[in-house]
Amino acid sequence: MRGLVIVAFKLLVNDRAKFAALLVGITFAVFLMVMMTSIFSGILAKSSATVTNVGAKVWIMDRSVTTPASSIPLPDYVLDAARSMDGVRFAVPLYSSAALVKLADGTFQPVTVMGLDDSSLLGRPELLEGNIQDIYAENGFLVVKDEEYPKLENPQVGTVLEINDHRAVIVGIAKVASSGLFGLPTLYTTFNRALQYLPNTRFTISYILVEPKSLDAIPGIKAQVDKLGYVALTDDDFIKRITDFYIHKTGLGTNILLMTAISFLVGLSISGQTFYTFIIENLERFGALKAIGARSSELVAMILFQAGFAALVGYGLGVGLCTGIMTLAKLKIPDYASIITYQNLALALGMVVIIAGVSSFMGVRRVLRIEPFEIFRS
Amino acid sequence: MNAVAIHGQDLVKWFGEESNRTYAVRDVTFDAYFGELLYIVGPSGSGKTTLLSMVSGILRPNEGEVLVEKTALWKMSSNELASFRLNKVGFVFQDYHLFPRLTTLENVALPLILKKRPWHEALQQASKYLEVVGLLDRAQVAPVKLSGGEQQRVAIARAIVGSPEILILDEPTASLDGDTGRRIIEFVKSNVLNEKRCILIVTHDSRILEFAHRIMRMEDGKVTRVEAGAGRA
């Protein structure tokens, strides 16, 4: 069979025009599919950045919260109640809000300020420079060094910023797993300092972070929080809620799905038609092979190999092209929201397999139907 | 006389529905012998190619049977038939049907590749047959760059590379000028035909009839006459 595979390979790649057209079709389809789904994944990852970066197991919030940025302040009694619930090891408040930082040149830069529980600092980021204890120093703030960091003019440890007419001193430079969706730099401080620096509503707790005694305790905690009229979500639940919001409430999911489907159809039509033409042009040769003594199964294997090979090369080129363009885009636009995930790759691969399958199915049908007798009669 | 290579018995082939049936071959019984160059001659539509297709295991007759070395061809399964064609029959098609995307050498090696010979071994073997037809120096050239006569020789090399016992040539000189056609048949007779091989040639080219051992004439699907050929090379 190896010899026939080589023959199939040569028949395919030596027909350069057809092979190029096939590759262009599949590459283009894969590029669009991966690009679309990667943008979606990027948006989801960035929109879930707070959840990922803080890393709490259970989050208590208002039932109406859809994304971390749209937190609804919780009354203090919810925190007290949470701390007394069965299965809760500890519960701490988290503050999250936007603020304006006045830069040295007098311009203002919006930032996200995260206020960590003063005693535990639960959800603190990993430090690249500085000492975490310095967050307790007067006016102490940590700055996250991510794509948005240059917007604060690359502050160093000791840099003084101005937040709402308050002096803020950078005492540490941190890194996080993911930066946010809206292109804002992030500052961390203690919960109480955040309240001092920023104007507040009556209730001040954005989220309550809960450490359960065990994973088995989580359903019980959820039920107890539910009785209070609020909702407790695991980090995965919260990310799913965010994902659902973007998919179902923003139209983003529908648009991405539509674009992915269109990409698939474009790829299918270009590749299917080209491959079918390739088969039709070689139909007499397949018939001759059949007359010489090739079995139908061998011809089918040749066609499947050709379709599969073209699909995989096109897939590789498409993913490579997508990666290249995303890399270039991120060089120019640091907070460009696009991430290639294994799921995106698997989805695109699945669709490419379908494209190859449909294309080869049409070809196989024609080849199986051709009678070697027709070769004699031609 | 040599042993019978092919025996066709009461072969009938029709096309179309019962109400609109067209007979291509009617009650044809014939023998072809090893070491023989048998011509099947007749006007267009006389059933030559249909008969050839039934004899070579390509087209199932509606009635009758073909015995190749006493083995009933049409009792075989489709895979057995494919195997029979691969191992026992060599084809030279009228339009050659060479693969333009493969080299001349790879074209010749195709039957060996179908026989699952290793790639390099198949090419090595094929190069010997290209040498036989005098085209070894054109081994790496695409068939489209060869002349009609050269393509015909490549097709012959491909047909004989698997050492088939039956060689079938369908209108081998139809696309060639008179001299080239004669040279091709001369070449086949002197280099390809041997005591263990039977060659059937379908033609209506009277210029090459002189090479035949026997000539079977067909008209309207029937064998009208079998005559001895001049048989000279």
Q: How confident is the model at residue B233 (pLDDT cuts 50, 70, 90)?
A: very low
Each residue's pLDDT tens digit, B4-55: 899 999 999 999 888 888 999 999 999 999 999 999 999 888 899 899 889 9
Give residues with Cβ within 8 angstroms of A248, minimum separation 6. Answer: none
CB contact under 8 A, A293 and B119: no
The third-level CATH classification (topology) of the domain covering B36-53+86-228 is Rossmann fold (3.40.50)
Backbone angles phi, psi at B182, to 5 degrees: -65, -40
A207 pLDDT exceeds 90? yes
For residue A357, CA distances in Å to A13, A351, B158 come to: 19, 10, 33
**Contact indicator for A27, A322 with CB cutoff of 8 Å:** no
B132 pLDDT exceeds 80? yes
Round to whole Å and give the CA distance between A215 and A209.
15
Q: How confident is the model at residue A59 (pLDDT cuts 50, 70, 90)?
A: very high
Q: Report the complex ipTM.
A: 0.84
The more confidently predicted of residues B70 and B137 is B137
- DSSP letters for A227-277: HTT-EEEEHHHHHHHHHHIIIIISSHHHHHHHHHHHHHHHHHHHHHHHHHH
Nearest Cα to Cα of residue A303 among A374, A350, A370, A378? A370
Would you tell me the crossing angle of helices B148-160 and B104-114 to the nearest 10 degrees?
20
Structure tokens belonging to residue A75: 């009354």
Q: What is the mean pLDDT of residues A207-236?
A: 94
Nearest Cα to Cα of residue B29 among B229, B228, B222? B222
Average pLDDT of chain A, as a whole number: 89
Each residue's pLDDT tens digit, B86-122: 999 998 888 888 999 999 999 999 999 999 999 999 9
A288 closest CB neighbour out of B89, B93, B112: B93
Q: Which of A15, A292, A300, A371 to mutate to test the interface with B (most CBs of B within 10 A)?
A: A292
- In this prediction, residue A193 carries a pLDDT of 93
CB contact under 8 A, A14 and B102: yes
Round to whole Å and give the CA distance between B81 and B76.
6
CB contact under 8 A, A3 and B99: no
Residue spans of the domains in chain A: they are 2-46+251-377, 75-229
CB contact under 8 A, A285 and B99: yes
Structure tokens belonging to residue B113: 């590749």
Residue spans of the domains in chain B: they are 36-53+86-228
If one counts every other C-beta atom within 10 angstroms of the C-beta of residue A301, the result is 17
State what percent of residues in chain A have pLDDT above 90: 43
Give residues with Cβ within 8 angstroms of B167, minimum separation 6. Answer: B89, B90, B92, B159, B160, B188, B192, B197, B198, B199, B200
Each residue's pLDDT tens digit, A82-141: 999 999 999 999 999 889 999 888 889 999 999 999 999 998 999 999 999 999 999 999
A12 to chain B: closest CA residue: B101
